[in-house]
A and B are shown apart, each in its own frame.
Chain A
Amino acid sequence: EPEVTQTPSHQVTQMGQEVILRCVPISNHLYFYWYRQILGQKVEFLVSFYNNEISEKSEIFDDQFSVERPDGSNFTLKIRSTKLEDSAMYFCAIPGQGGGVQYFGPGTRLTVL
């Protein structure tokens, strides 16, 4: 199973601040995905990113969110001005074996105060 790391594991921020969450796959990937899981709730798709472009995004992924591949290896999710309701676990995922399997990182817990 491909390995994906995410940093930081936990981020605490004040409402209105910008946060950047990072995802680093062990091997090179062109595709990656971001999901979020509000505490105790289901996992929700945010965005998929292919070859430096957004290929699909959900209604959650509004103008406050952006994704980048800043240096060819790691991927970032930026929230420009955090809101209380952005508090959640954020997971990145990369494609795995065929059939649409995705492998998830350990997640970043974002707490907005």
Chain B
Amino acid sequence: AQSVAQPEDQVNVAEGNPLTVKCTYSVSGNPYLFWYVQYPNRGLQFLLKYITGDNLVKGSYGFEAEFNKSQTSFHLKKPSALVSDSALYFCAVRDKVGTYKYIFGTGTRLKVLA
């Protein structure tokens, strides 16, 4: 079965520093990978996706993610963190070809300190 793992429950980073939120995946076949962000009392907002092509994917709000097939990772990154980036981040993988079901990771809470 497909799965994603987010090994860190929380990541703290100082404002202005680069941030990384980790995600590893386990899929059969080519993965469709996604990052979503959840602000307090809000729904999930789409940040970016990887389907095929360049391993470095750029998304909303200055975020990017690097797909690494050999390490089965899809880490979320941002060169310079903002306090407003503080939120809950979810990595997700599409379950299998022909389905629209997402498998979500457990989420990582990002805290950007002023």
A residues near B (Cβ < 8 Å) are 1, 4, 31, 33, 35, 41-45, 48, 55-56, 58, 91, 93, 95-96, 99-107
Contact = CB atoms under 8 A, between A and B. Distances in A.
A78 B63 CA distance: 37
A43 B51 contact: no
B106 A103 contact: no
8 contacts: A43-B92, A45-B103, A99-B32, A99-B51, A100-B51, A102-B102, A104-B44, A107-B42
A41 B43 contact: no
Closest 3 CB pairs of A and B: A104-B44, A104-B43, A43-B104
Consensus secondary structure, chain A interface: strand
B22 interface: no
Contacts of B94: 100
A31 B95 CA distance: 17
Interface of B: 32, 34, 36, 41-46, 49, 51, 90, 92, 94-95, 99-107
A42 B100 contact: no
Contact of B101 (A56, A96, A106): A56
Contact of B99 (A44, A56, A103, A106): A56
Contacts of B102: 35, 43, 45, 102
Given A42-B107, A104-B46, 6 more contacts: A43-B104, A48-B101, A56-B100, A56-B101, A100-B32, A100-B100
Nearest to B6: A42
A103 B87 CA distance: 18
Contact of B34 (A31, A42, A101, A106): A101
A31 B44 contact: no
Contacts of A44: 104
A43 B42 CA distance: 13
Contact of A42 (B49, B95, B99, B104): B104
